[in-house]
Structure formats: C-alpha cells, structure tokens
C-alpha cells in the first residue's frame, strides 16, 4: 500500500484540496498520476523537478494532484481491523500503550463465548499481553474496562485520527496540504 518516495508518488487530494486519506496517506504511483492527468480526471497542483520524456513530450512528474470531482467520504466506515486500530489510535484500550499494528490484537469486550458480537461497540484494540490477561472474561470479572467506550466512528473521526500518524517520508510539496490548518492555528 505504501509507495516509496524514490518512486515519485503523487499526493492525491480530493477536489476540496484535502488529502483523500491521511493514513495511509493517499499516494499514487507516478504512472497512475500521469494517466489521470491525461484522462483529465485531476489537476496538477505541484510537480517534482524530475521529468519523463517521450519523443514528442517532456513532462515533469506531478507531486501533488487534485481530483476534479469531489469524492464524499464514506458515511459509514468499513468495519475492518485497520479501522478499529485507527479509531483506538493504535493503542491498547486496557493498558493505554501504543504499538505497531503487528503487535495489536482485536479484543471482544464481551467475549464471543459469552454472547459478545463482532461489531464496533464490542471490539477494541488490545496488546497481546492484555488480551491474554483478559481472556474469556467479562470486564467486571477482570476489572479491565476499555479506556474509551467502543462505538462506530465517523469517517471524519478516522480521518482526524489518521493525521496523528505522519508518514516517514514527506515530500516538501506535500506539507502545505497535510498540515495547513495546523499551521494556521499556530499563527
């Protein structure tokens, strides 16, 4: 899903100039970005110094593109492991520690064996030791309660949570679009 910066990815903005997604950051390969430019689906907002050439054409690679047609965010975010972790800020809902996603698990607050459902309001992010410690018991049997009451997040909440996870590599031309309102607040 991640595109190496060396590959000249383009940051993809929605028609309102906000990234389509913060985390993972919406990036397209330069090939896809150029295809979209030729199909007139996007406007080029900024460019790399690097250019590609064909016998008839030289074109600088787009570093930031904006969709011409606005894509409304999904009204109901998909119930996926990733989105549960993102809702919970990639932190264990029992001990409060943040972990990389490979060290996180999916915990049923009310265990499935006790009738718990696999839905937003019954599933939280937990580290493996906390998950093991809680086992098939109810919160009141262990005294382990999730730090925030699990519920279905809005697409906007997930988007905002994702902004807390800046990618390792940022091209200079992307910064204005990723953090622009934060900078406005500081000023």
The residues binding Zn ion (CB under 5 A) are 92, 94-95, 127, 130
CB of 115 to Zn ion, least distance (A): 24
CB contact at 8 A, 120 and 106: no
State residue 158 phi and psi, 5-degree precision.
Answer: -65, -40
Pairing mode of beta strands 57-67, 10-13: parallel
From the CB of 96, what's the least distance to Zn ion, in Å? 7
Residue 133 CB, nearest distance to Zn ion (Å)? Answer: 8
Q: Whole-number minimum distance, CB 97 to Zn ion, in Å?
A: 6
**Six-digit token pair at 43?**
């406007």
The whole-angstrom separation of Cα 124 and Cα 187 is 37
Rank residues 23 and 94 by Cβ distance to Zn ion and give the closer one.
Answer: 94
Instruction: Report the alpha-carbon distance of residue 165 to residue 179 in Å, rounded.
Output: 12
Query: Is the CB of 36 or the CB of 104 nearer to Zn ion?
Result: 104
Cβ 24 to Zn ion shortest distance, Å: 24
**Of 31 and 101, which has the nearer Cβ to Zn ion?**
101
Q: What is the smallest separation between the CB atom of 23 and Zn ion, expressed in angstroms?
A: 21
Peptide bond preceding 140 in cis form (omega within 30 of 0): no
Rounded to whole angstroms, how far apart are CA atoms 183 and 6? Answer: 27
> Cβ contacts of residue 177 below 8 Å, gap of 6+?
11, 13, 17, 18, 19, 45, 64
Taking the least distance from each CB to Zn ion, the nearer of 102 and 172 is 102
Distance CA 24, CA 1 (A): 8
């Amino acid at each position: 899903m991640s595109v190496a910066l060396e590959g000249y990815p383009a940051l993809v903005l929605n028609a309102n100039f906000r990234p389509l997604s913060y985390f993972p950051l919406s990036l397209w390969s330069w090939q896809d970005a150029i295809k979209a430019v030729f199909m007139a689906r996007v406007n080029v907002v900024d460019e790399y110094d690097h250019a590609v050439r064909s016998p008839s054409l030289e074109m600088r690679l787009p570093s930031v593109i904006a969709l011409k047609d606005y894509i409304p965010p999904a009204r109901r975010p998909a119930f996926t492991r990733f989105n549960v972790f993102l809702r919970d800020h990639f932190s264990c809902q029992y001990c409060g520690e943040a972990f990389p996603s490979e060290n996180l698990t999916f915990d049923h607050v009310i265990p499935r064996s006790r009738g718990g459902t696999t839905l937003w309001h019954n599933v939280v992010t937990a580290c493996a030791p906390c998950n093991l410690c809680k086992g098939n018991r109810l919160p009141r049997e262990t005294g382990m309660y999730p730090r925030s009451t699990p519920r279905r997040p809005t697409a906007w909440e997930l988007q905002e949570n994702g902004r807390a996870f800046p990618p390792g590599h940022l091209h200079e031309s992307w910064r204005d679009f990723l953090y622009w309102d934060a900078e406005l607040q500081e000023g």
